[in-house]
Amino acid sequence: MQMTLRWYGSKYDTVTLKQIRQIPGVTGVISTLYGTAPGEVWETKDILALKKEIEDAGLQLAGIESVNIHDAIKVGTPDRDRYIDNYITTLERLGQADIHMVCYNFMPVFDWTRTELARVRPDGSTVLAYTQEAVDALNPEDMFASISNDANGSILPGWEPERMAHIKELFGMYRDVDDEKLFTNLKYFLERIMPVCDKYGINMAIHPDDPAWSVFGLPRIIINKANILRMMKMVDNPHNGVTFCSGSYGTNLENDLPDMIRSLKGRIHFAHVRNLKFNSSTDFEESAHLSSDGTFDMYEIMLALYDIGFDGPIRPDHGRMIWDEVAMPGYGLYDRALGAAYLNGLWEAICKSRGRSE
């Protein structure tokens, strides 16, 4: 595996490439053209400039998170082909720039959903948290206001104000889209993009829905083992793969994370590894990565990745806000660096005990 950190670009991120370069064992970053809107074609010069900036700092651009999918594609409106054509052009340009992993999600309207961005834990750190009660008490428009008020001035991925300004319209578009329709539209999209993925060796890595159930009555399908295996089968091409995000699948305690990893051998192209602490089945918070701080056994998760021969990029995903850092919630430097070091330590121990060098 290759240990990486997500980096939003020098215009948007409080963390610098120099800092990332100094985290032991981190050799790459996962980035994006953060200023582009879903549906837009990415310019080659912007892709190359991003890549060069990262390489000049001594790191590798290990993949893109995300090239976001326009709602027309998810809804399946008559103009979806135009947006898929744009997506294919972007993939072509990424492939030509020697970039071979693209993370995306197929969540209607919202990306991830949390109800608190700065819940205070007993040690004084702050973390993202979710309670179903809080979601049930909110309407979606208020959700956006509460999220953006708490974001330390950053624009959160998937919560761009331009999109959220049309939130009512967006909900209207999805009125007739249920789980089956969403599956059909995902299949249509994947079948259209697979030829360009085959040509350039691009691994598509779908990110799970977070939390892994329907919120505000919107359909959500990338939530459990049965659905993800259905998706792998419905477009049975190794380039149709997944981002295994322990913190997202793990929101549903019925998901057996190591078992899911083992069932996806050869199809996990990217891994997000983080821990959650459950206070009840509908109230969880994002703990430190360490197993004993949360609910998941992180050793078993890393072992399952090892056992299936996972060799893609991995990242610590969200971290707590500690040591008075002010950054985008979940994306500060310090706790993610601790997470990377811890995951690297688990990996080293697993490799040594199993007699493989890395």
| 245 is annotated as an active-site residue | yes
Rounded to 5°, the CA angle 160-112-174 comes to: 75
Nearer to Mn ion, 116 or 209 (CB): 209
| 272 is annotated as an active-site residue | yes
Question: Which of ligand CS2, Mn ion, none does 104 bind, CB closer than 5 to 8 A by kind?
Answer: ligand CS2
Residue pair 104/56 in contact (Cβ under 8 Å)? The answer is no
Q: Strand 126-131 and strand 203-207: pairing?
A: unpaired
* Closest CB 205 distance from Mn ion, rounded Å: 11
* Closest CB 272 distance from Mn ion, rounded Å: 4
Give the integer Cα–Cα distance in Å for 286 and 247. Answer: 8
C-alpha 337 chain-centroid distance: 18
Of the candidates 8, 71, 130, 207, the residue annotated as catalytic is 207
Tokens representing residue 120 in the block:
């205070």
Nearer to ligand CS2, 270 or 347 (CB): 270
| 317 is annotated as an active-site residue | yes
Amino acid letter, 8: Y
Residue 299 CB partners (closer than 8 Å, separation 6+): 291, 346, 350
115 binds ligand CS2 (CB under 6 A): no
- Rounded to the nearest 10 degrees, the angle between the axes of helix 44-56 and helix 80-96 is 40
Give the integer Cα–Cα distance in Å for 6 and 15. Answer: 10
* Closest CB 356 distance from ligand CS2, rounded Å: 28
What backbone torsions phi and psi does residue 70 show, to the nearest 5 degrees? Answer: -65, 145
Q: Which of 103, 129, 222, 257 binds ligand CS2 (CB under 6 A)?
A: 103
What is the Cα gyration radius of the chain?
A: 19
The candidate with the shortest Cα–Cα distance to 60, out of 102, 98, 94, is 98
Q: Which of 7, 42, 110, 112 binds ligand CS2 (CB under 6 A)?
A: 112
Q: Which of 8, 42, 104, 284 binds ligand CS2 (CB under 6 A)?
A: 104
66 binds ligand CS2 (CB under 6 A): yes
Q: Which of 29, 42, 54, 65 binds ligand CS2 (CB under 6 A)?
A: 65
| 71 is annotated as an active-site residue | no
Give the integer Cα–Cα distance in Å for 42 and 297. Answer: 39
Give the integer Cα–Cα distance in Å for 327 and 347. Answer: 28
Q: Which of 100, 207, 289, 320 binds ligand CS2 (CB under 6 A)?
A: 207
157 binds ligand CS2 (CB under 6 A): yes
245 binds Mn ion (CB under 5 A): yes
The mark string for 317-356 relative to Mn ion (x by CB under 5 A, - otherwise) is x---------------------------------------
Residues of this chain that bind ligand CS2 (CB under 6 A): 65-66, 103-105, 111-112, 157-158, 207, 210, 245, 272, 317, 330
Active-site residue numbers? Answer: 207, 245, 272, 317-318, 331
